[in-house]
Structure 1
Amino acid sequence: MFRNRYVSYRQRQNYIRHPRKTINSHLNNAKHTNEEANYERMNVCEVETDYIIPNEDLFSEEFDGEAFNNVAFDDEAFDGEAFGSETFDGEAFDGEEFDGEEFDGEEFDGEEFDEMLNEDDTMLSDDEMSIDSTNEALSEESDKIIDEALNIEEMPSISGEFSPYFKNLTEALMFCWIQKHSISTQAYNELVDIIYHSQFKSEDVVTNIRRFRKYRQRLPLLPIKTRKIHILSKNTPSTSKNIKEMYYLSIIDIIWHSLNNPLLFSQMYFGPGQNVKKNKELWHGNIWKEFPRFRCASIQLNGTTYTCREFIVYKESVTTNRFGRILAIVDVDGKLKITVQRILTFEELPNNLKSNNRRNRSHNELWLLDREIENAVIVVELQNIVKIVTIVILYSKNNINGSSLIFIREILYKHQGHWKLRDVAYYYKHPSEFAALEVSEMNLPVYKLYIDLYYDEFGTYRNVYHSLGGVYIQIGNLPFNERKHLKNHFVLGFIPFGGCFNEFIMPFINEMEQLEKGIMMNVQGNQCLIIASLGDVTANLPQGNDLAGVKRHGAIRGYRTCNVVKDSWTSEGLDLSLVSRYHHLTDDQFKEISVALTITKRKELATKYGLHLQPPILDRLKRERHLQCPHDVYHLTAGKVLRFIKITIEALSSERKLEFIKFWKSFEYPRTWQKLLNPISHIDSFMMSDCLHLAMMIPFVLSRFLKPSSFRNPELTSFQKRTGVSRSDLAVKLWLKCWVLTAKSMTISFKQSFTEDDYIELRECLDSERKILSQDECISNIILKKRIPKKKIEENFPNDSTFRKKLALIYREMGYKSAFVEDSCQHYEIGCFLGNNGTDTQYCLHIGDVVTIASEEKGDSFAILQSVFSHKKNNRHFAFIIINEFELTSQKKLECPVYRLQKSHRIYSISKVNTNNAAHFIHYCNNSECIGGDHNFRNDLYIKNMYFFKVV
């Protein structure tokens, strides 16, 4: 704005900015059409650019006062408003359309022009008339001044060359500079701080900005590299190019600058994993402790080298030796010790798992105790190690090479409170088995770096999603207090719109392959061996699946860490040990896909396993693709909260939405928070941090006004039907409880340190949240067939007080405190349902079948099915079974145990049936009391067939 009115303070030069050759188009008076107007004189400014006349004498000769006054335009035509930038546009009338020859007084005099204006006035349409009437109404209101430039009362009483506006030249120049370049408040404050600094000297100011740009080469800045990358046409506009430049930083350069930064290097940790009560740092976790590329891989003791993953005999007490496997060498209070996973003998197995087959194999077979079991992983002093033993884990049957070796085929674990055995193939291999580190002997310092990769696709225009992939790097050797600073997050680069992650990450992969082997690097003036490996690869749900080689979450098996089908993600009783994804099993699946003969077959196998056609590019590096690719908790939690907020707001009635806003505005938020947007009108503009902030407070906001009348009737009825709550006030309390669980789980997830109790509390909190929002034992995928006649049911299973008490007790065990039992039971002969192991296998139960019941108290127990019945409670149908349990006796028949069938009936939820442990029982027929297929059921003895198994 000051460019048009700038006046030089140099002598002998004036800078005058002249307007372009345009005239005012509002010709309302005859004086604007004066025939004597000298247009030739005005044609001096006929060019489109502005003339600048720097010579004062030249200006006085060509544009003196008299000559300028000869132009027949009054002073109003050339004031600041009439010839502003808006009026003199230079486009409405150019030199060809509006020149002096066409606008001649002989053709258009003042009277004719007024007549034309009057004729135009008579041709106004109705719309124009209405506009004129509106303008008349608006003209009655006086105009308001919204920006008063000159305030007489604020005029300073100063004198001088720049009075009365500025005190001195410095003030005037600074004001003009600020207004001309729109300097922000922060930038001006920083400039003032620089000028008033005690060591600032004006003579040291560099007058050439190009010299400042060259100063960049003096600083330890990272060089930016570039390469070509292909652009997918389906993800970009049609005008986009097929190839673009991408810019990235070298991971080797990042490591070199970090290690040679004394402030960062002095805080990095390069020691073994640490055993602490509160886990906070990465070296407190299992990946650091057990991965040989981050910690100590072996230790010398009495001339013997003990390496992680080896099997040993150790002293548990003075008189007892046990088998174990070395998992890691850890630092416990400054002293090196080893963590050992316990191995069991046959005698240590639970009684219900001591089969004859396992007894026969026990002379050269041991059993691994699952790590999730309490005290399965223990810390052992180095002096308690006795010796190394050779034990082979049979991940596949082809590994059996000698009968003299000791084998491990199965793992003992617990599921839903009872002991089970699973194949050792469903076990995460020790990192030393697939990522061993071979370092040649050198008398050089060795530094092992933990590289944390983060990948995020974000929308560059807030809610308008136009994905730009950001790839970031962190060095995990830094403590948490340093890693949380933004300055210690290194941007590897940004994937252009439509670019492919595989192409972008290729330079990083190539350099990391060199770093995995080790490269020589000068660190703080010393030659060192630098080994860097991939630690965590964190990403949100869709991108994380891509990095793990798993189809996205819309697929049937679109989960990166387990094989559960999509419809069973929240099912009760999932045996995660059996349905988890394991690196070595996924490798076999990728091989099966790659060797398929046709692309159709490859796609069928990929759909079956929920995998991509090819392994992810990150598999070129040493890593466990499933364990080392965690979910982005920040995205997941914020997304869950945002969805729940929308559901809650949509469920409220219109009046209660206004009430919600009232309480939301008056709520006492922390003063340090920025003002949150309106969650009703601007919910789609919420940032992730806004969602988390609102989740911290919304349970308290809702508790101040939420009532059954706050909800729309259809929403509350649907929620009651889904959760099985009969009373509306209890449904409101349950809604609040869900918000409490959401806020609680969020708080635990973002704790800075974790104890074992914190992990347990988080697991319980998430499980409670899942139970509220899912239909556990409610009939959703269960089909009941062949209804039993009512008369027969009344004879065998009368609906008396005893039956109702048993059923009420089962409801309480399921978590339903209101145990009012209605008389609405329907009994059936057949019940079909999907297995509880996360697969889509259908199981059918018939009356008379022997079933295995999972019980936390007794483990697996066996029973005969007497009935399958459904019960209606609060407009929901639940499925139950009636059974007679077997009791083990001391008798044996054909080396098989004999059981006695109890006469008392017991009721269980149908979900308690263990479909993974089938059993076969045979009636104990004595002599001739059983003829043909007619058994004498007064004889209640049955033989368990120990030779029964499922033929594959």
Structure 2
Amino acid sequence: MEQPYPHNTFNVSLDDEENINEETDYVEPNNYETPNETETDYNEPNNYESPNETETDYDEPNNYESPNETETDYLIPNENLLNEILNDENDEEIDYEDYFDDEILNDNEMSIDSNNGTLNEEESDKIVDKALNSEQVPSMSGVFAPYFENFTSALLFCWIQKHNISVGVKFSLLQHCFIRRFRKYRQRLPLLSIKTRKIHISSQKTPSTSQNIKEMYYLSITDIIWHSLNNPSLFSKMYFGPGQIVKRNRELWHGTIWKESPRFGHASFQMNGTTYNCGEFIVYKESITRNNFGRILAIVDTDGKLKVLVQRIIQFAELPTNLQSRNRRERSYNEVWLLDREMENAIIIIELQKIVRLATIVILYNEDNINNITSIFIREILYKHQGHWKLRNVAYSYRHPSEFAALDELVTNLPIYKLYIDLYYDDFGTFRNVYHSLGGVYVQIGNLPFDKRKQLKNHFVIGFVPFGGSFNEFIRPFVDEMKQLEKGIIMDVQGNRSFIIASLGDVTADLPQGNDLAGVKRHSAIKGCRTCNVTKDFWTSEGLDLSLVSRYHHITNNQFEEISLASNITRSNEIATMYGLRLQPSILDELKRERHLQSPQDVYHLTSGKVLKFLKITIEALSLEGKSEFIKTMTIAFKHSFTEEDYIQLHECLDSERKLFSQAFEDFENLPNLHVNYHLLLHARNYATLLNTGIDKRFSSTNNALTNLPYHLKRLMNDWFIVEKPFDPEEDISNDEYISNIVLKKRIPKKYAEKIVPNDSGFRRELASVYQEMGYEAAFFESSCRYYELICFSVEDNGINTQYRLHVGDVVTTISEEEGETFALLRSIFSHKRNNQRFAFIVIDKFEITNQKKLECPVYRLRDTQRIRPISELDTNSTAHFIHYCNDDECISGSCHDFGNDLYIKNMYFFKAI
């Protein structure tokens, strides 16, 4: 992806050695710099200082220095651990004490500390596992250099890693780190350092025999950022620029949060010697003869050109007649009104040249100071509710990110990179029959495109909250690091010193955990929605004025202050219940964010809850129209991109779904999952799509990291030992570079296959013609065709490898210059040998559209064409779902179809959640 804005819009005037600003004097401990303790209002441990000798038996590498070519060519040690273990016939001769590092706490030592029941708050976090630097890695050569001496040791290491994690969670995810020899194998790999600190364990959530203090393990967000920025394959795909105006909104930088926040998009621009910042008020040319007031919401990229998003401001004469009261007329000499951004034409895109000058306008959130204001002010917003124009106080609106997440103007000639951090938190059970949950905490870097972020390898684990542990205690190191990253630190990025700013973009979690992280009581409370104040008895009611009942960060702050100032705990609980808040705000509120706006609802959890309830009640209770409306809503909710028309359709579908379900089924009335339909449109606009903030980590997509490794490694990762494969899969080739790893499976006897596709002269002539289309000379044919039930292949698209699997009988989409996109039924899969190479082909029957429809879905007729095509003509990005058009007397219970009927229905409501 192109990166046209690596520096954003900051001025360039200082040398590298000068201060970033007057208040902060940065020092450089390694290759990224953090402020010292005098620069912050909290105690920040120096997590990047090398541990002393008592904490480890090896030296701390400079993990944050970009390695040159000679540094990355590690050499493998002479030690042969595998032979030592496998050839040692007497178990008693093994010194098991050598498997543990004396300086790292073992289980017994941890138990003793736990019995004390107290934590030393001043004790710094320890590093329990880290990579060796290049000087510490002994010399060895081989095809698996610089990490392993041979193939078998690499397999054994992978097996130990995999099985210790999968079966040893109960004791610790890091037990294998305490085995010295295997830990040294780990240390040869350029992996992140694992840190540890003690954490309290609640006695109310765990058995009485449990320790009240345990170790927790976590990875540093700063380390994750450094490794990501210095990974060429990731860095080249990251976007560092202003929000974009596009027809189809797909990426996070297409959403409102990125566009408007100075921490992600452009913060300012200069024109005619004047600096214009996001959030400031301006006078702009509305027409040739008329100027008007407006507010700069965002500086955006439109077709490669910078423009400004402006929220319109209206004067008294433009108010609806019914709102032109005498009092407002008297105030109009120094008061204007803001037009609600949800109104049509409330937000306009203008050229930079249309800006006339800055304007001094004050938003009057607190009317106590009205007598001290001499400039123009705004205290009301014009909006429309249920077809009627209304005015509301400006306090009932989300503040612009420049007000709660301001970014100090930086003057530096270093490249500036702003990172969008997406935090995900969810509990999951580790055992089948016993409730023992871990809290998984993950992060994503929102600067990556959606196709990259959806890959499991690009989800970075911060750590796991131990069962019974406090999330606030666990996340404290993350919050402390993020405070530094919000101010900015200097890192080496791809060999260049750069200024890195990272901020929390959004926090995604299920209903219970999401409410906790927003400081709101859980959804069983009277006011249990983290986005609004509607009581649960009215969650699905008609006519909610969302702008008046929504939760706003600045109002919630006042409510938390009221709770904290209560005379006693009983009164605090009463106030908290009245507002639907917890007694204390979330620890994440220490970061610069809007707690309610940046804690979106997870569309996956919400939808699964509605579907489960829906199926329990019975889907058959709905009419055909009701089923159709429900499926339409599910389809559009999971769209990968949105146009402006799609947002309108999403709003209509969500509104219809809420009405239908709450009216038809008593169990759906005031269901929290259904109530959130009111807020999903807001989330979709803020983050471009609902998928960007609702991605569950348990993906159905294939992890291709091991695609090109030998089959023995795949067997080893799935089994406890290596066995000879019962058959060798057929590996064929394709004439297209982006298609690879073609594997044909489940061979079909020739006599059965040729009943479907006869290998006659016509077949051979068509195959020769296909070869010519592929650019090959004519081939001689004998008995060189082999037939299969299944084909697997990998397709590279935009640097991402995706594995596909097709069976005989599947519906596929093909693309050709003559016919464009067409749908076809896969009749046969075969390979043909030519010049000692085997090529994969398919035989298809194409669908022809008719003028019929069923449930608003088009009806197709299957044509008996039996055309031979190469797999390169398959459109892997298109997914089509066809259903046999069964007539009452022809098909038996839908399981035994009469294929004499060649009509099929294309399911327009089919979607695939990723």
Q: What is the TM-score of this pair, normalised by structure 2?
A: 0.53
Structure 2 counterpart of 1:553: 523
1:746 lines up with 2:716 in the alignment:
no
How far apart are 1:231 and its partner, in Å? 0.7
- SS of 1:375's equivalent? coil
1:365 lines up with 2:335 in the alignment:
yes
How far apart are 1:440 and its partner, in Å? 3.5
Task: State how far apart, in whole Å, the 2-side matches of 1:491 and 1:403 are.
Answer: 50
State, as a whole percentage, how many aligned pairs show the same letter.
71
Structure 1 counterpart of 2:315: 345
Instruction: Show the 5 A alignment for 1:135-150.
Output: none
1:568 lines up with 2:523 in the alignment:
no
How far apart are 1:594 and its partner, in Å? 0.9
1:513 lines up with 2:483 in the alignment:
yes
Task: State how far apart, in whole Å, the 1-side matches of 2:630 and 2:433 are.
Answer: 25
How far apart are 1:638 and its partner, in Å? 1.0
| Residues 415 and 444 of structure 1: CA distance in aligned 2, closer, same or farther (over 3 Å) | same
| Residues 212 and 244 of structure 1: CA distance in aligned 2, closer, same or farther (over 3 Å) | closer
- SS of 2:526's equivalent? coil
| Residues 733 and 636 of structure 1: CA distance in aligned 2, closer, same or farther (over 3 Å) | closer
| Residues 431 and 399 of structure 1: CA distance in aligned 2, closer, same or farther (over 3 Å) | farther
Letter paired with 1:531: I
Letter paired with 1:751: K
How far apart are 1:213 and its partner, in Å? 5.2
| Residues 343 and 202 of structure 1: CA distance in aligned 2, closer, same or farther (over 3 Å) | closer
1:768 to 656, 659, 675: 656
| Residues 496 and 578 of structure 1: CA distance in aligned 2, closer, same or farther (over 3 Å) | same
Structure 2 counterpart of 1:645: 615
Contact 1:571/1:776, CA 8 A, preserved across alignment: no
Task: State how far apart, in whole Å, the 2-side matches of 1:380 and 1:776 are.
Answer: 47
How far apart are 1:206 and its partner, in Å? 6.1
1:477 lines up with 2:365 in the alignment:
no
| Residues 375 and 216 of structure 1: CA distance in aligned 2, closer, same or farther (over 3 Å) | same
Structure 1 counterpart of 2:247: 277
Task: State how far apart, in whole Å, the 2-side matches of 1:566 and 1:249 are.
Answer: 39
Task: State how far apart, in whole Å, the 2-side matches of 1:457 and 1:632 are.
Answer: 14
- SS of 1:769's equivalent? helix
| Residues 220 and 422 of structure 1: CA distance in aligned 2, closer, same or farther (over 3 Å) | same
How far apart are 1:775 and its partner, in Å? 4.3
Task: State how far apart, in whole Å, the 2-side matches of 1:274 and 1:248 are.
Answer: 35
User: Per-residue displacement from partner, 1:543-597 (whole Å, max 9, x unpaired)?
Assistant: 1000000011111111101010110111110100100001111111111111111
1:413 to 379, 383, 406: 383
Task: State how far apart, in whole Å, the 2-side matches of 1:318 and 1:196 are.
Answer: 72
Structure 2 counterpart of 1:538: 508
1:594 lines up with 2:564 in the alignment:
yes
Task: State how far apart, in whole Å, the 2-side matches of 1:738 and 1:630 are.
Answer: 28
- SS of 1:644's equivalent? helix
Instruction: Show the 5 A alignment for 1:21-32.
Output: none
Task: State how far apart, in whole Å, the 2-side matches of 1:776 and 1:353 are.
Answer: 39
How far apart are 1:464 and its partner, in Å? 5.2
| Residues 756 and 388 of structure 1: CA distance in aligned 2, closer, same or farther (over 3 Å) | same
Contact 1:368/1:411, CA 8 A, preserved across alignment: yes
1:612 lines up with 2:500 in the alignment:
no
How far apart are 1:404 and its partner, in Å? 3.3
Contact 1:562/1:579, CA 8 A, preserved across alignment: yes
Structure 2 counterpart of 1:312: 282
1:756 lines up with 2:644 in the alignment:
yes
Structure 2 counterpart of 1:674: none
Task: State how far apart, in whole Å, the 2-side matches of 1:741 and 1:504 are.
Answer: 44
Task: State how far apart, in whole Å, the 2-side matches of 1:578 and 1:540 are.
Answer: 25
How far apart are 1:739 and its partner, in Å? 3.8
Structure 2 counterpart of 1:99: none
Instruction: Tell me how large the CA RMSD over aligned residues is.
Output: 3.1
Q: What is the TM-score of this pair, normalised by structure 1?
A: 0.51
Letter paired with 1:557: K
How far apart are 1:407 and its partner, in Å? 1.2
Task: State how far apart, in whole Å, the 2-side matches of 1:405 and 1:588 are.
Answer: 26
How far apart are 1:421 and its partner, in Å? 0.6
Task: State how far apart, in whole Å, the 2-side matches of 1:202 and 1:279 are.
Answer: 49
2:270 to 272, 287, 300: 300
How far apart are 1:448 and its partner, in Å? 0.6
Contact 1:560/1:581, CA 8 A, preserved across alignment: yes
- SS of 2:402's equivalent? helix
Letter paired with 2:235: F
Task: State how far apart, in whole Å, the 2-side matches of 1:626 and 1:530 are.
Answer: 26
Structure 1 counterpart of 2:356: 386
Letter paired with 2:533: N
Letter paired with 1:752: H
1:428 lines up with 2:428 in the alignment:
no
| Residues 551 and 768 of structure 1: CA distance in aligned 2, closer, same or farther (over 3 Å) | same
How far apart are 1:765 and its partner, in Å? 1.1
| Farther-moved stretch of structure 1 (256-265 vs 438-447) | 438-447
How far apart are 1:463 and its partner, in Å? 7.1
| Residues 203 and 501 of structure 1: CA distance in aligned 2, closer, same or farther (over 3 Å) | closer
Instruction: Show the 5 A alignment for 1:122-161.
Output: none
| Farther-moved stretch of structure 1 (399-408 vs 433-442) | 399-408
Task: State how far apart, in whole Å, the 2-side matches of 1:381 and 1:434 are.
Answer: 27
- SS of 1:511's equivalent? helix
Which of structures 1 and 2 has the larger relative contact order (alpha carbons within 8 angstroms, sep 6+)?
A: 2
| Residues 573 and 205 of structure 1: CA distance in aligned 2, closer, same or farther (over 3 Å) | closer
Task: State how far apart, in whole Å, the 2-side matches of 1:502 and 1:466 are.
Answer: 19
User: Per-residue displacement from partner, 1:846-875 (whole Å, max 9, x unpaired)?
Assistant: xxxxxxxxxxxxxxxxxxxxxxxxxxxxxx
How far apart are 1:205 and its partner, in Å? 6.5
Contact 1:741/1:766, CA 8 A, preserved across alignment: no
Structure 2 counterpart of 1:165: none
Structure 1 counterpart of 2:205: 235
Letter paired with 1:759: Y
Contact 1:458/1:465, CA 8 A, preserved across alignment: no
Task: State how far apart, in whole Å, the 1-side matches of 2:204 and 2:183 are.
Answer: 40
Contact 2:143/2:150, CA 8 A, preserved across alignment: no
Task: State how far apart, in whole Å, the 2-side matches of 1:284 and 1:475 are.
Answer: 15
1:255 lines up with 2:225 in the alignment:
yes
Task: State how far apart, in whole Å, the 1-side matches of 2:386 and 2:433 are.
Answer: 44
Task: State how far apart, in whole Å, the 2-side matches of 1:517 and 1:217 are.
Answer: 32
Task: State how far apart, in whole Å, the 1-side matches of 2:609 and 2:432 are.
Answer: 15
- SS of 1:235's equivalent? coil
Task: State how far apart, in whole Å, the 2-side matches of 1:571 and 1:327 are.
Answer: 32
Task: State how far apart, in whole Å, the 1-side matches of 2:149 and 2:367 are.
Answer: 82
1:325 lines up with 2:300 in the alignment:
no
Letter paired with 2:274: T
| Residues 571 and 242 of structure 1: CA distance in aligned 2, closer, same or farther (over 3 Å) | same
Number of aligned residues: 510
Task: State how far apart, in whole Å, the 2-side matches of 1:350 and 1:559 are.
Answer: 33
Instruction: Show the 5 A alignment for 1:669-688.
Output: none
- SS of 1:225's equivalent? strand
- SS of 2:187's equivalent? helix
Mind listing any 5+ residue stretches in structure 1 that lack a counterpart?
Answer: 1-15, 18-48, 51-194, 649-701, 707-731, 782-836, 839-952
| Residues 539 and 202 of structure 1: CA distance in aligned 2, closer, same or farther (over 3 Å) | closer
- SS of 1:234's equivalent? coil
- SS of 1:318's equivalent? coil
Contact 1:314/1:321, CA 8 A, preserved across alignment: yes
Structure 1 counterpart of 2:605: 635
Contact 1:290/1:308, CA 8 A, preserved across alignment: yes
User: Per-residue displacement from partner, 1:242-266 (whole Å, max 9, x unpaired)?
Assistant: 1111111100010011011011011
Instruction: Show the 5 A alignment for 1:707-722.
Output: none
